[in-house]
């Protein structure tokens, strides 16, 4: 079974400071990792997929298989980045099981002025 | 394009009452899911469906039933509500393609008193 751990419930940073939201996972096979974001009073939305190696809203995340991590980073935090962030895992390549995602417990990012 | 629509958005139930939450998607997605979101516990999968007429249990299925009679709709039922089922419920859908993420609904905030 897979597991996703987000060790920080709350992360508070000042505007312009670097941000790193931690995500560690345990899974015996090859994982596919995602970051989802939930802004206040809005629905969850996909932020990043590791497989696409993209940068969205200045955020990047690199899959480190050696450390089993998929940390989310941004060099300069903005006030509008304040939100709840969830890391999620799906076994790579398996579609018969319905693309089920396992979510972490989430980290609330607060960007202060 | 509405995406994923959940009804109702809010509901208060008395212990022992029953209700059904409706999820509708217009993206022709094969897979649909019901999650519950609780503070400190992230999102946990209740039930999911890989196609019309099929459902399967997730991580926390007890006390819930589901049905998917039409491809675009996924219903979540509570037969006898309990205070422990107070939560925010999210429906999501996804394509069978392995590397696509989920599209979420806006959530239903349920309080059982």
pLDDT band at B27 (very low <50, low <70, confident <90, very high): very high
Give me chain B's average pLDDT, please: 93
Judge whether residue B59 has pLDDT over 60: yes
Q: Per residue in A7-51, pLDDT tens?
A: 999 999 999 999 999 999 999 888 889 999 999 988 999 999 887
> In terms of Cα–Cα distance, which of A72, A73, A94 is closest to A2?
A94
Cis peptide before A17 (omega within 30 of 0): no
Task: Please indicate whether residue B54 or residue A41 has the higher confidence score (pLDDT).
Answer: B54
Q: Per residue in A82-98, pLDDT tens?
A: 999 999 998 876 555 66
- pLDDT confidence of residue A50: 83
**Residue A82: phi, psi to the nearest 5?**
-60, 120
- pLDDT confidence of residue A53: 76
Contact B90 A95 (CB under 8 A): no
Judge whether residue A69 has pLDDT over 90: yes
Residue A86 near chain B (CB below 8 Å): yes
B105 neighbourhood in chain A, CB within 8 Å? 43
Judge whether residue B24 has pLDDT over 90: yes
- pLDDT confidence of residue A94: 57
Q: What's the whole-number mean pLDDT along residues B49-71?
A: 95
B31 neighbourhood in chain A, CB within 8 Å? 98-99
For residues A13 and A21, what is the distance between their CA atoms, to the nearest angstrom? 11
Structure token pair of residue A43: 């629905």
Residue B108 pairs in a beta bridge with: B89
Provide the pairing of β-strand B87-94 with A24-26.
unpaired
> How many C-beta atoms lie closer than 10 Å to residue A30's C-beta?
11
pLDDT band at B72 (very low <50, low <70, confident <90, very high): very high
* Cβ atoms of A104 and A51 closer than 8 Å: no
Q: Which residue of B has its CA nearest to A6?
A: B42
Categorise residue A66: left if φ over 0, alpha if ψ from -120 to 50, beta otherwise.
Answer: alpha
For residues B47 and B84, what is the distance between their CA atoms, to the nearest angstrom? 17
- pLDDT confidence of residue B99: 61
């Amino acid at each position: 079974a897979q597991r996703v751990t987000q060790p920080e419930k709350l992360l508070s940073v000042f505007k312009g400071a670097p941000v790193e939201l931690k995500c560690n996972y345990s899974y015996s096979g090859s994982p596919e990792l995602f970051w989802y974001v939930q802004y206040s009073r809005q629905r969850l939305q996909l932020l990043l997929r590791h497989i696409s190696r993209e940068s969205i809203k200045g955020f990047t995340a690199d899959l480190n298989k050696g450390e089993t991590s998929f940390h989310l980073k941004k060099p300069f935090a903005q006030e509008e980045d304040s939100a709840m962030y969830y890391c999620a895992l799906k076994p790579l390549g398996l579609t018969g099981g319905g693309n089920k995602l396992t979510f972490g417990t989430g980290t609330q990012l607060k960007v202060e002025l | 394009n509405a995406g994923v629509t959940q009804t109702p958005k809010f509901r208060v139930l008395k212990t022992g009452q029953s209700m059904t939450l409706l999820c509708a998607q217009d993206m022709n997605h094969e897979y649909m899911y019901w999650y519950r979101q609780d503070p400190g516990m992230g999102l946990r999968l209740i039930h999911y469906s890989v196609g019309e007429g099929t459902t399967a249990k997730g991580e926390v299925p007890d006390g819930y039933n589901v049905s998917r009679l039409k491809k675009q709709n996924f219903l979540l039922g509570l037969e006898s509500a309990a205070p422990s089922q107070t939560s925010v419920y999210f429906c999501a859908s996804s394509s069978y393609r392995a590397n696509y993420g989920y599209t979420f609904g806006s959530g239903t905030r349920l309080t059982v008193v």
